[in-house]
Structure 1
Amino acid sequence: MQGLQDLLEGPEDIYAVYMAGTPDYVGTGRTNLSAPGLEDIREQTEYAHDKGVKMEVVLNSSCMGGQHLTPQGFNKVSWYFGQLSKIGIDSITVAEPYFVEMLSREYDMEVVVSVLSFVDSPQKAEFYEELGADTIVIDPAINRDFRKLEAIKESVSCGLKLLVNEGCLYQCPFRYAHFNFFSHANGPGPKLNVLDDYYYYKCLSLRINDPQQLIKSPWIRPEDLKEYEHITDTFKIGGRTHFPNWILNNVRAYTGRHYDGNLMDLLDCPKDIRDLFYIPNTELEGAISQWKRCDKVCIRCGYCRKLAEKVVKVYSAGNTPEELQPLHKKGNI
């Protein structure tokens, strides 16, 4: 609650805040820092509404293992949706198509299609709108593909949101499997007894060994939001597993549309990555012009590799800006 209070005492451009629901009913695509009960959700919703801010609950499990299609599973989920509706939740974000249709037909809450529905084409957007979606959060993998973004905008009348600070691999081969893993690990039982998170460490090693992947990640700089205003005026900041001060720093950067510091500070990515690399955000000015006309065939282009060689630096043991070393001098690219 304190984190929410700190957030809503800050910038005035916040349209809505979101939080995870109780994983006993529907899981999410992220690790849960906490499992708020209905009373906690009620208290935070009332506080947000008092501040004129909408409350959104994220229940974006990418896999329910078929439980939601059994009588028992359906009744549990239906009961939980009903309780959230009574509390006054404004919107629910889901990835499961069945939930999109169920919510749109039976509840008076905005239905938001999650990034974990991977809406990356006008055809997918049309299908979800027909199911009852009020808003679609577009797959960030196409954040720099303006042709597709504009085609989606043209094809649907529902609202669109863009996730601005995702630090995942561009076109990550582990994406579907990893979110399915999270959905089961952080959702209704039976709980998994896994040895380790293979996907996390594999993704981590790929970026450490090939830092140009940091530049290819589909983030949007605060300064570049203006390039997307013809697509949407609603931008989503990811990072609900982070501490309030990190979230506040992001909110200030994106509402102010400027950040004079390490771009890694803003990205929703593992701390191991953020603490290793330094990317001066101001030195990325103008890169959006290249990405707007890029055909996404990296082997022919090489722009992100060259940009990484120029601007990405690695912290040395002292972990201070004075001790940063260019990548090409350390043989990382």
Structure 2
Amino acid sequence: MAKFSLAANYDPELVPALAAYPVDEVYGKFPGDGVSGGRPRYLATPLSEADLRDYIRLLDHHGIAFNYLLNGSCFGNREWTRPWQKRVMALLTKLGELGVRRVTISTPFLLELVKRRFPEFNVRVGIYAQVDTPRRARFWEELGADAITLESFSINRDFRRLAAIRQSVRCGLQLIANHVCIPNCPMQTYHQNGFAHASDDTGTLFIDYCFLRCSRLRLTDPSQFIKAAWIRPEDLAVYEAMGYTTFKLLERGIPSAELLRRVKAYSERRFAGNLAELLLPYGFNEPVRKESLWTLRHFWKPRQVNPLRLSPLLDLARLQGMLSPLPESPILIDSEQIPDDFLDGFRNRDCTSMDCRACGYCEQIAAQSVSISPEYRSAVLKKYAEMDDSMITGGLWNV
């Protein structure tokens, strides 16, 4: 039976509803813990130590575990210093006191550190470790990993490789089901390292160049919404037959109704509607909870950048529903227009070795299932162009 690892938004009223579904754990972290993570600080949900303690107790009451993320891909070489070592030891000790028994890491040294000094923790390897081959999976298992989240962005539809990885290790394996990342993304390493540094450092401006680039690509080439290796709720059985029974559901901090929608769809293995509602991390009709003075805290840095030149970036956030709710999604991925045998189209295709222009399968599916509001596309692409020009020419910094 499938079980799910769900993103946290720390809403206590959501937890009892989750208990009705096979949610094995909820994952998240403090907004800034001095150790680094997989999201920039400005995407974090406000959370105090007392909040987390109460949240973990509530989860435990309903039979749901909490997985704490220590999943940064880079620590800026601070891990070799005494201050960092003291900080991570204090954090892990505190997490144990709060009731945490599971953590996710992305670096081999941190895995060894946790397993040696805190053997009571169950340790999962995160997606930023980019485990996508049997050899890589065995490396982590032999190092002590209890479970591994595979590099789902690129291999969720590579069934031969998925089968080989499952056969190569005995540890738990997890796939991310609902993402829209570009397969074999050339920006992946740059992106996750930028996230790692931005997860704790609020003093330095972080502009998510990679997100801007790939979001614009999806608007100009809607087939990218199909090429992204998400898993439909209806297709979970295909993966279970290969031995994959644990699925991670994104995204942290989004409204409770959206998290519940995602859990319900995957638990019931069916969803008739707009798949974008299960996949996108923004564009909801409810507000996303942010810390006070959010814009000023994270983007008002006049010594580093010309704040006035950041207006296209904030306009993009507003247009895409990142700052305030949208009445309806301007992006439609009609699940009813995706064939029942959709996955069969990938069984005899090696997408990693193939030029998409010589194939056309995803383009064909996108033509009948994906539509984007013309007004939305035009307005957003205009702001992308303004922001891109400001960055590339140096106008953003008056240089």
TM-score, length-normalised on structure 2?
Answer: 0.75
* Distance in 2, Cα, partners of 1:136 & 1:170: 19
* Separation in 2, partners of 1:256, 1:182: 33
Other structure's SS at 2:123 match: strand
Distance in 2 separating the partners of 1:128 and 1:35 = 32
Task: Measure, in 1, the Cα distance between the counterparts of 2:75 and 2:331.
Answer: 36
Question: In structure 1, what is the equivalent of residue 32 of structure 2?
Answer: 23
- Between 117-126 and 25-34, the greater mean CA deviation after superposition: 25-34
The residue that corresponds to 1:327 in the other structure is none
What is the SS of the residue equivalent to 2:94?
helix
1:9 to 2, 14, 17: 17
Contact 1:164–1:221, Cα closer than 8 Å, also in 2: yes
Within 1, Cα distance between the matches of 2:224 and 2:376? Answer: 24
Residue 150 of structure 1, aligned match among 150, 163, 175: 163
Alignment of 1:268-287 (within 5 A): 268-271=280-283, 272=320, 275-284=329-338, 285-287=340-342
CA drift of 1:22 comes to: 4.7
The equivalences for 1:285-300 within 5 A come to 285-296=340-351, 297=354, 298-300=356-358
Asked if 1:186 corresponds to 2:199, the answer is: yes
Check conservation: 1:184, 1:191, Cα contact below 8 A.
Answer: no
TM-score, scaled to structure 1: 0.89
**Cα distance in structure 1, aligned partners of 2:97 and 2:347:** 44
RCO higher in structure (CA 8 A, sep ≥6): 2
Rounded Cα–Cα distance in structure 1 between residues aligned with 2:110 and 2:166? 23
Task: Tell whether the 8 Å contact from 2:66 to 2:100 is kept in structure 1 after alignment.
Answer: yes
1:302 aligns to what?
360
Aligned length: 317
The Cα shift of 1:315 comes to 2.5
| Residues 103 and 124, structure 2, Cα contact 8 Å, conserved in 1 | yes
Counterpart check, 1:129 vs 2:138: no
Moved more, 4-13 or 88-97: 4-13
Q: Give the structure 2 partner of residue 228 of structure 1.
A: 239
Question: Partner residue of 1:115?
Answer: 127
C-alpha deviation, 1:270, in angstroms: 4.4
In structure 2, how many angstroms separate the alpha carbons of the residues matched to 1:69 and 1:4? 38
Match of 1:260 among 226, 248, 272: 272
Matched, 1:160 2:173: yes
List alignment gaps of at least 5 residues for structure 1: 320-333
Letter in 2 for 1:17: V
Q: Could you tell me how far 1:198 is from its partner in structure 2? A: 1.6
Shift of 1:234: 1.0
In 2, Cα distance between the equivalents of 1:241 and 1:174? 24
The offset of 1:202, in angstroms, is 1.1
Partner deviation per Cα, 1:111-156 (whole Å, 9 max, x = no partner): 0100111101111111111111101001111000011111111111
CA RMSD across the alignment? 2.0
1:311 deviation in Å? Answer: 1.7
Query: How far is 1:33 from its partner?
Result: 2.4
